[in-house]
Amino acid sequence: MLNRSLIAALAAFAAILLLFEYMGISSVKLVDTALLAMTPLALAAIGEVINEKAGVVNIGLDGILLIGATLGVYGAELAGNGYFGLLFGALIGAVIGLIHGVLSTYGRADQVVASMGINIFAYGFVPYFLMAVWHFPGIRVPPREVLAPLWNIPLGSSYFVFSEITFASIILALLLNLLLRKTPLGLWIRAAGESPEAIDVAGIDVYKVRITTATLGGLLAGLGGAFMSLVWFKGVVKEISAGRGFIALACVVASGLDPVLATGFAFLFGFSEAVAYTFAVTPGIKETIPYYFVFTIPYIVTLVVVTVMIGKRRFPRALGIPYRKE
């Protein structure tokens, strides 16, 4: 069943690429941009899958991406090293995730309200931070030597642009899938979301499980944000997240909390972003379709995909509900 839909998806994808080649758009360029656009979505989505499996919702991914992107640049400039910047962005994300985890467990917070607060905070904090640290409104372009590298792999007459972080995020999705299905820790995580009473009785601390997953979720979203500014866009603007945190949430719900499938949807949405960027610069298309319409493509695709996929999905029973320890 899964194999058949996988083959159908791959066939459809190949047909779309052929169609674009026919229109004179390089599919190599489309796919490498799609993989770059996939990476922050996939990282944030994988983290949120684990988080929601344990019963905690975090709709603040967009804010964490934004703060991760900004603080990632700060860290990279501080250390003079792009990888340190990625790590720094991830750690800041982890701290925000940890705070959300503590509020959601010990604080028994309304998780949706708390994490929307994270978004609103980020939308105000980032422009403030840009101004306070670099004294320039809304944007920071760091010196090239502190960026993390993108590899150019020669392919025929052009290059295939690739980042090892993309590769790592795909491997991570596979590993976390195994962790969830095959390990005792995965069982605890799933139980924390399905029946927290049961593992509480079994002597496992529900709060610790949920705080751990919330921290991991924040860490991955923070890394995704730092990836955007340090690898992909080579700088940060105050709107860099552009709703990607919510597209990542769409990956999570469309996948029915499956890390590998969520990564697949991240690729689909990343691909639609790549199509938008390509349309915006392709002669013949850019004159006929207004630039602003082209940029609605990823959001429309997300809306349609979620609408189609959602019907079949079920979610952990205790998702979003604060648990009171016995």
- For residue 196, the minimal CB distance to other proteins (Å) is 17
Confirm or reject binding of residue 287 to other proteins (CB under 8 A).
no
CA separation for the pair 255, 176 (Å, rounded): 14
CA separation for the pair 207, 205 (Å, rounded): 5
Window 25-84: residues binding other proteins (CB under 8 A): 59, 63
| Binding window for other proteins (CB under 8 A); candidates: 5-13, 29-37, 177-185, 302-310 | 302-310
Please pick, from the candidates 6, 10, 168, 293, the single residue that binds other proteins as defined by CB under 8 A: 293
User: Do 176 and 259 form a contact (C-beta atoms < 8 A)?
Assistant: yes
Q: CB nearer to other proteins: give 31 or 118.
A: 118
Q: What is the full DSSP assignment across 164-205?
A: HHHHHHHHHHHHHHHHHHHSHHHHHHHHHHH-HHHHHHTT--
Confirm or reject binding of residue 319 to other proteins (CB under 8 A).
no
Q: CB nearer to other proteins: give 130 or 191.
A: 130
Confirm or reject binding of residue 109 to other proteins (CB under 8 A).
yes
Please pick, from the candidates 17, 83, 117, 207, the single residue that binds other proteins as defined by CB under 8 A: 117
Confirm or reject binding of residue 148 to other proteins (CB under 8 A).
no
User: Do 163 and 150 form a contact (C-beta atoms < 8 A)?
Assistant: yes
CA-nearest of 254, 271, 257 to 306 is 254
User: Do 46 and 220 form a contact (C-beta atoms < 8 A)?
Assistant: yes
User: Do 91 and 216 form a contact (C-beta atoms < 8 A)?
Assistant: no
State the residues that interact with other proteins by CB under 8 A.
Answer: 59, 63, 103, 107-114, 116-125, 127-133, 137, 242-243, 246-247, 249-250, 253, 290-293, 295-296, 299-300, 302-303, 306-307, 310-311
